[in-house]
Amino acid sequence: MPLHPEYELLLKQMADIGGPSLSEMPVEQGREMYRMMQPENPSLVVGSVHDKKIPGPAGDISIRIYTPKGKGPFPIVLMFHGGGWVIGDLVTADVQSREVCRGTQTIVISVDYRLAPEHRFPAAADDCFAALKWAYTNAQHFDGDPTRLAVAGDSAGGNLSAVVAQMAKEAGPDLRFQLLVYPATDGSRFDTESYIANADGYMLTLDSMQWFWEHYADAEQRLDPRASPLLAKDLSGLPPAMIMTAEYDPLRDEGEAYGARLADAGVIVETIRFDGFIHGFFAQTQTISATRPAMQKACEALESALN
């Protein structure tokens, strides 16, 4: 399918502006650029929003708790932001966290995990798993239901959601669902058909993915399933999943490969490719109108699994 007209216009506007690519920027400049691209949007009103610090494996972890209107106890979704483990934070995950909270009547806990290169693999995964365990143990203190837990995230956040689901299978707590949006699942190779066809020109590039991985984990570490969940030997027993991919995305094929492996292992999984879309659509519901049905589908899947 051709590139969606809204994305065609967006990419043209970005090309006209010009400037260095992400992989050519210092890390701090990349982080600031990403915050400008994905700002907070308090106009998407939820019941309440508050920030909190919780204990982590290497110091406090900042989280943001979005609570829906109404009376709980509510299901809980742990939201792990994208940004290649290097950029992204509570600000850049604000819109998708609000959308999921509003669309599912669940508490969304957005996790500000440690970033690379200051904190390399497995720091991000360890923080995200610690946040899940904290939510399970402390649910009664924020009107949450610890028996109805899910993980969700896009890109690196999809990677971390898949990794945390694998960790929780071994050590608990039980998860009801995993929402993996264009997840990075294999850092050991960059030669899939989608990497080759979409190497440049669609916002996320082959160069930028290599830049992200080089900051996050070395070649040997990328063979660890906590970095590359696709490389896990046994995917049986994992919670049901929805995997969303974009046609014009270098990560398309590895996300779909993970869905196929989950299905082969007997896991209930729905894998959906959004034709005409590029990487990043989960956070663009306020700027790209065509992405709104994708968010609605994600919320319907979460709500069905958690209620």
Task: State the catalytic residues.
Answer: 155, 249, 279
At residue 198, what is the residue type?
Answer: N
β-pair partners for 110: 64, 79
Q: Sign of the C-alpha dihedral, residues 157, 160, 162, 165?
A: negative
How many Cα neighbours within 13 Å face the side chain of 13? 6
What is the C-alpha end-to-end distance of the chain, expressed in Å? 35
DSSP type of residue 188: T
Strand partners, 244: 181, 272
Q: How is residue 198 written in tokens?
A: 């979409």
List the helix and strand counts (H, then E) for the chain: 9, 8
- Using CA atoms of 181, 186, 189, 193 in order, give the dihedral in degrees to the nearest 10: -40
Tell me how far apart the alpha carbons of residues 191 and 211 are, in angstroms, rounded to a whole number: 15
DSSP state of 290: G
Give dist(CA 236, CA 267) in Å, integer. Answer: 6
Bridge partner list, 53: 62
Q: Are 68 and 13 in contact (CB under 8 A)?
A: no
Adjacency order of strands within the sheet including 48-56 = 48-56, 59-67, 107-112, 74-80, 144-154, 177-181, 241-248, 269-278
Please give the Cα distance from 40 to 283 (Å, whole number).
11
